[in-house]
Structure 1
Amino acid sequence: MSLKPWREIAIPHEDVLKGTFQQAEFAADLSRVHAGTATAEYQNPALFFQRTFITEGMRLLLDSVVRRLAGKGGDPVIQLQTAFGGGKTHTMLAVYHMAKGEVPASDLQGLGDILNAAQITELPRARIAVLDGIKSSPNQPAQRNGLTVRTLWGDLAWQLGGAEGYALVADADASGTSPGKAVLETLLSRYAPCVILIDELVAYVRQFQDNKSLAGGSFDSNLTFVHALTEAVKAVSTAALLASLPESDSEVGSQRGAQALEALARTFGRVQALWKPVAAEEAFEIVRRRLFASIDDKLAAETVCRTFADFYIAHRDDLPAETQESRYFERLVHAYPIHPEVFDRLYEDWSTLDNFQRTRGVLKMMAKVIHRLWKDGNNDPLIMPGSLPLYDADVRNEAVYYLPQGWDPVIERDVDGERAETTEIENKDTRFGSVQACRRSARAVFLGSAPSTTNQLVRGIELERVILGVIQPGQQIGLFKDALRRLTDRLHYLNHANNRFWLDTRPNLRREMEDRKRRFQDREDVFPTVRERVQRGLSSGVFGGIHVFTDSGDVPDDWALRLVVLPPDAAFSKSGQSLGLDRATEILKKRGDQPRFKQNRLIFLAADYDSVSRLKDHVRSFLAWRSIVADYKDNRIVLDNLMARQASESLTQAEETVRRMIRETYKWLVAPMQEARPGKGLSELRWERFQLNPGAQNGSQEIERVLKENELLITEWAPIHLAKVLRDWFWKDDVKEVSALTVWQQSCQQLYLPRLKDDTVFQMTLAAGAESRDFFGFAQGKEDGRYVGFSYGKRYSPILDASLLLIEPVTAAAYAEEASRNKVAEAGEGAATTTVPGGGDAPRAEDSAKGGYASGGATAGQAVKKRFYGSIDLDPILAKKQFADLVDEVVQQFTMSPGVKVKIAIEIQAESATGFDDGLQRAVKENCNVLKFKNAEFEAGE
């Protein structure tokens, strides 16, 4: 449901719309009205009552004065004592216009009901005397039509009866002594009905010093006059006295003022009727009448208020308890178009400031707020704490005027304006920008927390009140909570503790943290921290080793499966070529300066290029918070308890954020591969990339899941797949058997072959295929065209070593059939043949001995081979690679077997038709000495 904006329903007064109101207009001046020089809104009785909301307290007071002047009872003496700006003078003006009778009561809005209630048809016109303690001077007599008036009682007599009235107190006025009660009673009786209005009496009396008389009398004579006056008024049935006394110490002023207030309050206290004019709820209507001319569409206004009230009830868990009461709807209606929370914060919080006048201060601030919002075309349904245009210089100046020094930069940087952090966040995040979530939240926090002081035990404004100050029907409360969390992370002057938020002129720890962040460098600080966290978050699992940010020379080139984690500066970009693939290719092809052969043993984990910058920023924040906490514990910095707790909580949060960001950043699993088709060669190196789920509970298990699901790693291999690999790549032409160890080692080296978890998987595949005649046969070696330890189609537990052969099934079947035909009967116990029985019977001991695979001793007819000798010619250009192959394929077979001693001798022969020069001879001999050659000599040719 679309709600009408307040500006389409409530029309401000002309001076508010145009911004032509003056500060002085907000301060009612009783003396100026009495002198006839006040502005129209105060001077004109009809206009004054039109803009005046008659509160319950004011109604009772006016009723009492009406009855007193009509001689029907009423209180003779009324003291108005309220806080600064509480409406004392405004109330006196209402009595002034009513009692003076210049305009019929029927023309004064609201007064007719009061007269009817008092059963008074026509109110008699009264004489008015106004005694203004600020306008009068104790030592400067005033001239009144040729008469010199020195004292308050002289001024009172002159205002009531002119020269004739003054004559009654002339001697007392001249001497500065108080007239007696009888004289004052005569004065009042002669000129009744009359009303005496005394304003700012404390300001006048406090100017007198002890034991010193001025033209206006003395401290004691003025107190005596007040005492006598109250008694005289009490005695005259149609006389009324209204006096205002301050309530706050800021209005009293000096210690002398406090003494004057105490004495006057004691004097008035004997006969007064104490009255406090403005209740909090009534203040709403007072401000609205002064600022707004009319509510054009009352039905639309009530609809807005009802919608807000219903929305609050529907979201009771996120809002203050008072919003659930039925009367809150009435508060909304009374305050419309201003939200009650604005009034609550101003009257409850801002009015505690010494120089903030309650009603006047609210009027001044809200007049500027409304003017700016009207000018900017604000379309909010209500004027809320989040609506305050603190970006406007006039509004901001009005607000900071009441606050201590230092609030300007707080508002400009953290709250509102083009350069504020809140604006920057909303410009980058449209979720927040669409409803101004950050600015509105910061404004509400400012309004609710700026008047608080560091001495308060509980500071700030509750989250529920912030939400109340910003949320509108139809909006998501969670969005504003997210905005507050973002502000807590970003703002320099915003503090947060115990579900309360407040702004302070002192930078929070975030400023210190931001300064420290700049100290940390990528390679020296950030990368080692990331490495530690990555290492901590991974377990070996299926991998024989995990290498985090490791140089290629330190990644072993062996048969174990290894996960290589690339550093953040070698990130992977899905959009195209990246440094990550370049670094991975370098590690894949080389181990340091040497070529890498077991390339199919490496899997790579790479960072996402688009996330690296955020990860580094979060790591710097974590390092900064950690340094702050460490410095606090080591007494290198001083923090109060709240800031220390905030630092500790921020460190915990930052550490959790780093952990989460590492999972989100290191999300690319990258594996090398090549495609190969028999007879068509190999394709170029290609990289397969797969994305990990950052939300998985266990990072290592997630890596293993992706590897298995995408067949990047085989943990269980069916014999049929091994048989296909053998047919495609190993059983070629006349080669019908292949070393099982060669197959396993080639699968570790060639990127086009399947990547097995380890040799155990390979051995289990061999065992699984042994009982079938569809895949392969086994032998423990081959001598003179015959297989040693032959097995085919029988259960078999192969041991993976250099002697184990995998035989093509057709060949194995043919061999088994031939062996069966050639089988000879065993003659005698212990007789043996060197052939294998047909049908693939299990190999016997004498067969196994030749292959060295199964246990058992050799027969007498067979010699045990105990020595091996081999020689090879190497190409001088390719010698390094050929020798590496020689070590891997031959020498390693011996070194892997226990009890085998290996000796390698290298013979180098070099001949030159022209002879070797001296430099070459010297270099070769020196190098040979370093390498500990047994013999290294140059000889002369024939």
Structure 2
Amino acid sequence: LVGALRRLTFGGGDPVVQLQTNFGGGKTHSMLALYHLFSGIAPTDLAGIDAVMQEAGVSTAPTARRVVLVGNKISPGNPSVKADGTVVRTLWGELAWQLGGKQAFARVAADDENATSPGDVLRELFNDYGPCLILVDEWVAYARQLHDQSDLPAGGFETQFSFAQVLTESAKLAKNCLLVISLPASDTPGHSHGDDVEVGGTRGREALDRLRNVVGRVESSWRPASAEEGFEIVRRRLFQPLSDTTQFKDRDVVARAFGEFYRTQQAEFPAECRESEYEQRIKAAYPIHPEVFDRLYTDWSTLVKFQRTRGVLRLMAAVIHSLWEKGDRNPLILPGFVAIDDPRVQSELTRYLSDNWVPVIEKDVDGPNSLPMKLDSELPNLGKFSACRRVARAIYMGSAPTTAAAHKGIEDRRVKLGCVMPGESPAVFGDALRRMAGAATYLYQDGPHYWYSTQPTVTKLAEDRAEQFKREPDKVAAELERRLKKDLASTGDFHRIHPMPQTGSDVPDDLDARLVVLGITHPYSKEAGSPAELAAKAILENRGNTPRIYRNTLVFLAADKTRLHDLDEAARKVLAWQSILADEAHLGLTTHQKAQVTQQMAAADSAATARLPETYQWLLVPAQNTPQAAVTWEALRLSGTDALAVRASKKLRTDELYLTSFAPTRLRMELDRIPLWRGHHVAVKQLVEDFARYLYLPRLKDPAVLLHAISDGVNLMVWQDAFGLADRYDETAARYLGLRGGTLVHLADAHSPALVVKPDVALKQMDAERNGSEPTGTGAGPGDNTGGGTETGNGAGDGVGIGAGGTPGTPPAAAKPKRFHGAATLDATRVGRDASKIADEVIAHLVGLMGATVTVSIEIEAQIPEGAPDHVVRTVTENSRTLKFTSQGFEKE
């Protein structure tokens, strides 16, 4: 309120404020306070505003134009007709109309009609109609209704976030405009997904993340109603304030008595109770014990329907009224004193849980026929304090809302904290706890932890087992891998698919294009450096310890991070039902239960099958625009109902990122663009290597696609638009052998030594041969033939003309080396490393030479002073024979 007054009066303060809480946290109340503050009402009519205005340094609150946009009250598909006849379709149209009526709306009318986000006109409106207060509530509820396509009057999903950015930036730049936006909390404990009920599933999660990202650039976040503030809120709403010294003295005496009790019985209660700070908490929460608030704010507030502070107020109002009616004289309200048997209290405690908790309460927690009442009546030492009843209530308050949690239950020391008062023996309540655990039908125990659960039906048993599989991620991963492999049996246009490789060494370095499906430990998200992108990059760059050569053959499929939870849950449910099916004899299931297991198993299997394509929806494609450019990653979202690999290949083909056919004219364009020519020609096998290696070239399904393109280009009647083809180049005669163009050829060998020849060079040789003369050297042009004799070319330099009189036209070129030989001694412990380096740095250059024949042999000599054991001799001999050594053997001397 102070910041709002300063902003709308002086233009200072934060222009954009985000109210961030979950259900019942006070967002709407905060907006209502702002709405009334700037309504023009006299400050004296508003309680507590004098202090706010004094702190803000203002004498009066300015009257502001107020705009209220509530997402669940505005339909994106049904335009609103105003009293003046204005038809409003979009949020920005509604904002403009509320700000200045028909006249202001006219300035955004075109954007409203076309559902396009307005630009700087918003800032102009804010300045012209300022001071103005813009309140936006339930924006996520509005945005999640929009479609990806702009087929609604309110526009598309993406347009909404463009508007959000324009709105926040305009409010920031305007003179005296305050924009207040409420978004559900998405990062508070127990609300990791922003509370799906309030957010609205996966679409709502995405909308929330996008809105928080946009608003977060300029906003000042404010989180009202913390757990500690809940003490004061409940006290103010449900109790009159302490007014005289006697009441304060009573409070201090009670707090001191409890503090001393916890310090003298340290082993019986949680560690934090012995600290003096806990005594201060008792004073702050008086007359309610802090443990009540801890359970409500820590455990019960994890239930979305509980609505945090609102839920605490509803429940405590019922509890306090029940205790007041009964004339309760206890010094504090502990969890053990919550009258769960009172219908009003029970209603508040069960309305947030499933219906089957009522029989649990009636049998094992509280009520005239409950087990605690029976034990208290049978055992006077327990009944004196209603120990079993208080223990049962404390366990219920601390465990009922967390039965689905991985770590269930409430610790025994915390149970005692919730029901023991000074002057009572904790041992009595420990005895009550043990008796309850041994006799109760619904009370579970795991070491020192206790919790209530509903009837362990087959469904409940499956849920428990599915929860247990969280601790066995290897089994879940194996199930997902099995399902992936089954789905990937349909390979689409890919020759091979590599599912869930552990490292780059699991992905061979081959010439044909393949799909690599990353495991669930490497999900994709749009944040920079996502696990999927890092894993894909590692596999792309290396195969094990060796740099990957053929990088333009891999594309990657990854799981969506936000949907991975649903897939993991579906897989765990399948495993849970499978385990129950396997244990049906041991579990003693009835016929009906067996039928239920079979039916649920089929449903779980179907759900997991459906979740797989919903989760694996991101294609990661490495790209490089030019040889000098850095490698970038393009993320493509898949859609459709086909198998994963089929969807992936369709998407890649549509975006021309994966070619199953290749036009010869496009091949010629790539030859000239990079360029890929090596002089006047390039070897077919070199082109195959180039297209498999370099990311700036089109990605081909396999070498056959390139071979067909070459064949088609040579077969063209206008082959001059493409290229020629030769068997090889004769350096002595300086001519191409087997040169053809415009004739039918068929290439099938990716390692063919044939040459793709530039069309102008090929045509020049063909014309020369057609005219009956020898062709000139094709390295750089014809030589000087002044003597009228014949010419020969060395194929690399200028042609050398020999006149009739035997006088040379130009000096002969220097002879080139024809052979190479080399030997190296390798480290016997690091042969793989050294041999790989020699292959990359030496052999690769020699193999790439036209017509070169390269032979590499390995010679091994081992001196063994102590002699080789029999098993080593046998292993080495068998392996040498398997590896086809030309000669091998051991010698005794």
Query: Larger RCO: Structure 1 or Structure 2 (Cα < 8 Å, ≥ 6 residues apart)?
Result: 1
Q: Give TM-score, length-normalised by structure 2.
A: 0.48
Structure exhibiting the larger radius of gyration computed from Cα positions: 1
